[in-house]
Chain A
Amino acid sequence: MCIGVPCKITAIDPNQPTKATAEVNGIQRDVNISLVSSGNEQSLVGQWVLVHVGFAMSLLDEEEAEQTLTALNAMQEEEPDVNILFKP
């Protein structure tokens, strides 16, 4: 039950700044952002967050995510062992 879902923040509730709308797979849902906001809520619009039981728990770092993917993609070239194993 500790699984969270990555969502993108699309809007902040003007009346309740701890409340945002976030989108995942085209579905909009309310998300409480008090654990990830540092005062300037509007700056969170467009940001990916990890949502668990209706609360944004962590800001997702796109750069880190991309780095992981790049590292994974580069693996075949970097690891000669791996290429050898791939040969029939």
Chain B
Amino acid sequence: MQFIDEFRNPTQVKSLLSQIHAWVKKTSFTAEKPLQIMEVCGGHTHAIFKFGLERLLPPEIEFIHGPGCPVCVLPMGRIDACIEIAKRPEVIFCTFGDAIRVPGRQGSLLKARQEGAAVRLIYSPMDALTIAEQNPDKKIVLFGLGFETTMPSVAITLQQAKQRNITNFFVFCQHITIIPTLKSLLMTPDIQIDAFLGPGHLSMVIGTHPYSFICEQYHKPVVVSGFEPTDILQSIVMVLKQFANKQCLVENQYRRVVPDEGNPRALAVINDVFIMQGDDEWRGLGIIPDSGVRLNETYAAFDAEKHFQPKQQRVADDPQSRCGDVLTGRCKPLECHLFGKQCTPESAYGALMVSSEGACAAYYQYRQGEPA
């Protein structure tokens, strides 16, 4: 079994589209007042554009590209703090490829590398630990970022560092948690979201139960979805059926990967290493209460910020950029005045243009030249 290819079958895609057309007629959505589905995860955003799903859908359905791309919500000040640490002569700074081009006020980590800082790309957090063992005279800093998907891997790496008594390894913790973000989105008064496509791979860690407040308190359906075209289309059918049948549930389209209870072992390692504490700043969205993640007391010695004490910086987002409005569905990327001018993938202004999972980069790659 190949596990991927079969989910791209054109006949199935066609058939699902027909179902979508049929079901949307059974709801009250119109082209003027469409169903606005937020896909929370940047992986979905990328797939939607890559496969052109947006254009295949009837006008009664519109995607809102959500904040679930950890790179897209990285605040400038945090990148500046990473660069400050990376530029220290004794440091080797390890980052996932996604984050290296995100601009801070002082440029990106890539620029810091061009200027001589030891910035290395890694595939797995474990790679950073290996680098630490191979370079005992250096201090190795891992840029720990991402949602609950990435947190368990960084947590296990830290457990290993502790077990093996590795003292030249540190983590710059920029992890974020999804539920507070969704809560803060839902509490924003002028936000237009009718339903959610839940993140597939994040949910394999946390499961589907944590989303139930969205149905219970906000009366919006959630369907956890896979990333293949048929997965996304089938999830839309599931959402439409809920509206047509006047239901509001958390459903799991991606059962082949996501158990409803998540991965208890992954949740346990997260709890062993991290503490969810305090507010955190998100690029484009501002301060989100209770979304902060730090290393707990047991792992304090590995905390790069405690060790290197970089300047705490808070850089306001440029008022001309509309990253926050794009993230919350208030406008489309093409409506931002900087789009394609000051802000392109080569010289990104906002982070939504940097990652291929960001809505602006996806628009730039696949839909440029269309009228706003």
Contacts and interface: CB of A to CB of B under 8 A. Distances in A.
Interface of A: 1-4, 6, 32, 34-36, 48, 50, 52-55, 57-58, 60-62, 64-66, 68-69, 72-73, 75-76, 79, 81-82, 85-86
A50 B28 CA distance: 38
Nearest to A65: B256
Interface string B338-358: 000000000000000001010
Interface of B: 1, 3-4, 6-7, 9, 11-12, 14-16, 18-19, 21-22, 41-43, 68-71, 96, 98, 123-127, 145-147, 149-150, 152-153, 156, 199-202, 204-205, 227, 230, 234, 253, 255-259, 263, 265-266, 269, 355, 357
B256 A64 contact: yes
B3 A2 contact: no
Contacts of A86: 14-15, 18
Contacts of A52: 149-150, 153, 201
A54 B153 contact: yes
B6 to A, nearest CB: 6
Given A48-B1, A54-B153, A86-B18, A2 B258 contact: no
A59 to B, nearest CB: 9
Contacts of A4: 149, 201, 204, 257
Given A2-B150, A2-B199, A60-B257, A54 B125 contact: yes
A67 to B, nearest CB: 8
B255 A55 contact: no
Contact of A2 (B22, B125, B201): B201
Nearest to A31: B124
Contacts of A79: 15, 18-19, 22
Nearest to A49: B257
19 contacts: A1-B42, A1-B355, A1-B357, A2-B150, A3-B43, A4-B257, A6-B4, A32-B124, A32-B126, A52-B201, A53-B123, A54-B153, A58-B259, A61-B256, A64-B255, A68-B255, A72-B15, A82-B22, A85-B22
Contact of B153 (A55, A60, A75): A55
B282 to A, nearest CB: 15
B269 to A, nearest CB: 7
Nearest to A75: B15
Contacts of A66: 1
Given A2-B201, A3-B227, 6 more contacts: A32-B153, A50-B201, A50-B257, A60-B3, A72-B12, A82-B15
Contacts of A72: 9, 12, 15-16, 230, 234
Contacts of A32: 124, 126, 153, 156
